[in-house]
Every structure is written in C-alpha cells, then in structure tokens.
Structure 1
C-alpha cells in the first residue's frame, strides 16, 4: 500500500493501528455517527477505504509522485479535518489536491491554492503562520477549523456523485461536533457550497427553504438552535482563479475579515 500506515509516527497523524476502517458507504455512516469527539472522527476519516477509485488513485499518486517531490514520502490517505475543536469559523473546500494535501497530510497544504489561502488567514488573524508546507510545520488555525466535502484526492479534481455521497457522513458529523460554537461557515467554491448545504441541515442547522446561488461574498443567514450563524460564499483560490485575477488577495482578505466580524457579532454560547 503506497501510503503512510496509521501510527507510523507521521506528524499529526490522528490514527492508530487499531483505528476502525470503513470499507464501504454503510460503514462510513456507522463510524461517523459513532464518533464522539473530533479526534475520534478525524482518526477514522484518515484511514477510510470506502471508495475503490479514490483509494487506487491516491495511492498511485503517492507511489509515482511528481518529479519535484520525488524524494518525499506522500501521505496517500484521506485528509482529515483539522483546526480548533470549538471553532467560530468553519472553512469548507472540495477535496485534497493530488500533490498537495495527498502529499502533505493536511488540506490546502503544499499547493498554490493553499499558498493564497493561508497567507490570507494569517493576515486576517485566523492562522499563526503565513505558510503551510507540511503536517507538523507549526501551523495552527485560530478559532477556525478546515475540512473538505470529499476527503481523498480525486482524479482530475472531480469526485463522482457516489463518492461525494459516500463521504457525506464524515462532513455532516464534523459539522455537528463543531456546531455549538460555529457562527460562520465559509464555502470555498461552488462544489463546497452545494455539498455543505445538506450537510449543515443533517448536522442540525436551520436553513432557508431554498439554497441561494453561489457567489463571492454571498451571505445566507442560518442558525443552530437559538444561535444565529452565517453561510458565506468565497471563490476558490485555485490557480486558474488567482492567475486570471478572478480571485485577488484583497478579495480573500475581505471574506475572512467579514467572517471574523460575523463571528464576533454572534459569540459562542
């Protein structure tokens, strides 16, 4: 198997050799629902083998590697959510990059999208370092938690609907565990916007009857119990978007500055 074994000493590996492994969508749903803490949930996420196509792809990439990273050991496993266990701000993306999170073991780490994202999070006070290069590099999120709709790197960055649905319980349960403190959910890109909507509802959030169209800066009022919250849209800091100027550093900073304003206006209970 071309991936880091659980409990091998990889920095920040949430799993142990005895962490239970999901081999299909039914087992994902059961293991997610039975996870009582973020630590237990992320450990189980990080060893999932429910989607054969994604397992084969992530491990092939970890074996073949990109020439620039030929001397590195790739993570080659699902990339779990990480950050504050009681966040006021959640950041949801699509999936790990084949030579980014699939290599480094941390979502949005080690690729161009992550370079833009973490620089903005640092400038706006949501991260302690400007860069994120590898799990265990000292990076830490401040009052924020980051996760993906799909936890394995997909071929061509396009998970199938079946793979998205199989991964849904991981996202829903992570949202549910973070819900009591969460006041803002930032969806990075249209796919995350679509995926997080039913997951928020499943996690216990109250949503408007219809999902508004995705857009940069779109705000949707939601709630968890009596606590008000906001779903906030943000263009994905992909290479295509940043190279063409569709996303600028100022645009990202404005989103995360707004997220902090909203989170402060509705402090955790």
Structure 2
C-alpha cells in the first residue's frame, strides 16, 4: 500500500474503507490530519493547556470510539472536548460531560465504574460502544458542515463493522442526530419520510433494507455542562434513555437504581 497523506481531505474516505476490524479502525483514526482548522485547534490547545492540566502531555489527535466490537447498543455524541478527550485520548474522559455520562452508564449496568479520568483507569463498557461524528476537538464545540462530512467515513465504517450485532443507538444531541441520519441511510437502514426530527425521547425504528433486524434510534439531550446545569437534562433522564436503549438492544436488564 503506498504511503497516504494524512492531511489529504480524502484520507478518511480512502482509509476507512480498508479497515477490516474495529481494532484496526481505532488505531487508524488518530493518524488523521484531514481538517486543517481542527488540527490547528487541537494542537494549539495542547500547547497552551489549562492551568489545572499543566502537567499533562495532551493526546492532541483524533479520538477513536470506545467499546466492544460486538456491541448491541451505540451511543453517539458530538466531538471530543478540548481539555477532555483531546487531553486524555479517550472519548468523554476527563470532562464534565463524561462525568455525567459514565456515572449514568455505570448506574444502568453498562460500565464497570462511574468515573473516567484517563486511558488506563480500568474502565470497561458492557454491550455498548461510544462514538462521535467528529473525532477532533473543534473550536467552541462547533464543527463546520465540511468537517463533519470529511470525518463521516470513520463513523460510517464503524457502524458497518458493528452492523452484525447493533440493535439500537442513543444519540446525544441534535448535531449527532443530523450527522448520523445520512450515515444510517447509506448503510442500508431505511429512514421514514419526512426524516425523523431530533428531540429528547424521540424514538424511531429503522427497517433494514438488507433483510436483517431493524435498528432502534433514540434521541437524548447531550450531557453538556449547560444542559445539566440548567436542568434540561437530569441524571435521571439520561439513565432512562440509556435503559431504554439497552432494553431495545436486547441487553440484560440491569438491577434497579435510585432515580433521584
């Protein structure tokens, strides 16, 4: 295979199609430099750092998905946080959104521990894989449409590799929902017309045009600091969405927890 220019906008599309496993995909995603603005920002953030993280050697690369290759449930977010995943190198790790998400995953029996601080902290996910439509930290947490589209082949290949076992997807936020729909359509899941709109609690069953079982799509507000602080999304609401997704995915029913 000839050497690939990782800063070529076509790099994700060419490389993603060659990935034979999720392990290979996860090892290749961090090599990507296809979006100049995102590369500049993630590396600038790693140089400047936050005062609290001056001793950290930032990851400062694209952050791959996390979870087993035979997951029945996927959780789709937005992009890594500049001082979270971009620092730690693991999705939703080391930032306030991750604190809320992993606590909820633990409460419903989908994670081995309620906290995620670094890549070697022992965290394991059970039956669920977490991923993103944009794998680099964007300025102001706002990827451009072009950056979203350039990154799309990584997500498309990830879902294709998960396809034999994937039964449900919980989407955290409107950006992830809109980014995911065309990926699902191109992968052979039939979208209803008009296309389903995002909303917390939104739920739709997508038929499999290849003759397999359908895919349950569920909407949930993103566990951002703003949403949690204002009460738009409470921990109980997040746990309920994850429980519903797990049930639709056919995962073992977790023991009950206090939904305060």
- TM-score normalised per structure 1: 0.89
How is 1:34-183 mapped onto 2 (pairs within 5 angstroms)?
A: 34-183=18-167
How far apart are residue 228 of structure 1 and its match? 2.1
SS at match of 1:198: helix
CA contact (8 A) 2:72 2:251 kept: no
SS at match of 2:76: strand
- 1:120-169: CA deviations, max 9, x gaps? 00000111110011111100110000111100000011111111110010
Q: CA RMSD in A?
A: 1.5
Aligned residue number for residue 213 of structure 2: 227
CA contact (8 A) 1:21 1:44 kept: no
1:237 pairs, out of 214, 217, 223, with: 223
CA contact (8 A) 2:189 2:214 kept: no
CA contact (8 A) 1:220 1:230 kept: yes
How far apart are residue 193 of structure 1 and its match? 0.5
CA contact (8 A) 1:80 1:107 kept: yes
> Could you list the runs of 5+ residues in structure 2 that have no partner in the other structure?
253-260
SS at match of 1:257: helix
Instruction: State the alpha-carbon separation in 2 of the partners of residues 211 and 265 from structure 1.
Output: 27
Q: How many residue pairs align between the two structures?
A: 248
How far apart are residue 20 of structure 1 and its match? 5.8
How far apart are residue 43 of structure 1 and its match? 1.3
Q: Does 1:259 align with 2:245?
A: yes
1:37/1:20 CA distance change after superposition, 3 Å: farther
- TM-score normalised per structure 2: 0.92
SS at match of 2:74: strand
